Amino acid sequence: MSDPQFPEDESTAIRHDMHGRWPAAASLDEFRANLAAVHRRIAAACERAGRPASSVRLLPVSKTKPESSIRLAYAAGCCLLGENKPQEACHKWEATQDLSGLQWSVIGHLQTNKAKLVARFAAEFQALDSLRVAQALERRLQQEGRGLDVFVQVNTSGEASKYGLAPEEVAPFLRQLHAYPALRLRGLMTLAVFSPDPARVRPCFSLLRNLRERLRQDVPAGAQLDELSMGMSGDYEIAIEEGATVVRVGQALFGARALPDSHYWPSPDN
């Protein structure tokens, strides 16, 4: 077996087993080195896919990392950061008011009772998966006089442990969204199955792209379905080959998280 850290076939590299081994970013130099490495890999994946490197946006994910890490990322030029828990994101937003222009993307499941928080500080919300949440966000955004870029989360792996609409639910869902004008539809988001096997991961990404292709013709005026947010530290290169326009990368930039991912992804079952 080949070592997945040094894959022979770069295009099918999955690095989930890097768990606990992503290089730390305790200094600005270390963060910059990680950032440069990820940008190089993004560029290489784009080249393999015949896409311009500018067609992929890197969203650094700072969840669980302290304020000092956020300051490193900002110093390295990152001005939109992803967080999966609204409360943690809001605390970080409050603690970094001195960093002008720093914006926040909430990428994790939202309960309606947290819509007020997200409406206050977020620039983007990537995990929209119910009309109840859309309605709660709309009401709070109207009160704040703000709008919010949103991605609809799709469950492309069929796993009960993943949030998101089933693929066949997306078209009817999008037809309801015009009732929530503060939500600016930008695209679709997914988490692939968590597997070291590219043959299982890739179909999740291609499903999202195919769904977007089918739906983008008849999105309502003002809405867009251009963006595909898919891919994280372990699988973003495959996601780019399958058309990702946004990759959400945490550990490859900020260093390994201490606990396994199940700890950070509360599933609908628990």
Ligand X SMILES: *Cc1c(COP(=O)(O)O)cnc(C)c1O
> Does the protein bind ligand X through residue 250 (CB under 6 A)?
yes
What DSSP element (H or E) covers 41? helix 28-49
User: What residues contact residue 9 under an 8 Å CB cut-off, 6+ apart?
Assistant: none
Longest CA–CA span in the chain (Å) reads: 57
Cα distance between the two ends of the chain:
36
Q: 249: which strand partners?
A: 60
- Interface residue with ligand X, options 233, 238, 241, 246 (CB under 6 A): 233
List 34, 62, 69, 84, residue binding ligand X (CB under 6 A): 84
If one asks whether residue 251 binds ligand X (CB under 6 A), the answer comes out as: yes
Looking at beta carbons, which residue is closest to ligand X? 250
Q: Which amino acid, one-letter code, is at 249?
A: V
Closest separation between CB of residue 181 and ligand X, Å? 26
Contacts 24+ apart (CB under 8 A), 248-252: 248/59, 248/61, 248/82, 248/107, 248/126, 249/38, 249/58, 249/59, 249/60, 249/61, 250/60, 250/61, 250/62, 250/63, 250/82, 251/18, 251/22, 252/22, 252/34, 252/37, 252/38
What's the length of the chain?
270
CB of 102 to ligand X, least distance (A): 19
User: How far is residue 15 CA from its own chain's centroid?
Assistant: 17
Binders in 44-73 for ligand X, by CB under 6 A: 61, 63
Residue 60 Cβ vs ligand X, minimum distance, rounded to whole Å: 9
Cα–Cα distance, 11 to 201 (Å, whole number): 13
Shortest distance in whole angstroms from residue 221 CB to ligand X: 29
Q: Which is nearer to ligand X, 35 or 107 (CB)?
A: 107
Q: Using the rule CB under 6 A, which residue among 232, 238, 239, 240 binds ligand X?
A: 232
Residue 249 binding ligand X, by CB under 6 A:
yes
Taking contact as CB under 6 A, which single stretch among the options 7-15, 23-31, 133-141, 243-251 is the one that binds ligand X? 243-251
DSSP code, position 24: P
- Residue 255, interface with ligand X (CB under 6 A)? no
**Shortest distance, position 250 Cβ to ligand X, whole Å:** 2
Closer Cβ to ligand X, 219 or 240, answer by number? 240
Report if residue 187 touches ligand X, rule: CB under 6 A.
no
Part in contact with ligand X (CB under 6 A); list of ranges 5-13, 98-106, 111-119, 244-252 = 244-252
The torsion angle over the Cα atoms of residues 141, 246, 21 and 18, rounded to 10 degrees, is 120
Give how many residues touch ligand X by CB under 6 A. 15
Q: Which residues bind ligand X (CB under 6 A)?
A: 61, 63, 84, 107-108, 191, 232-234, 248-252, 264
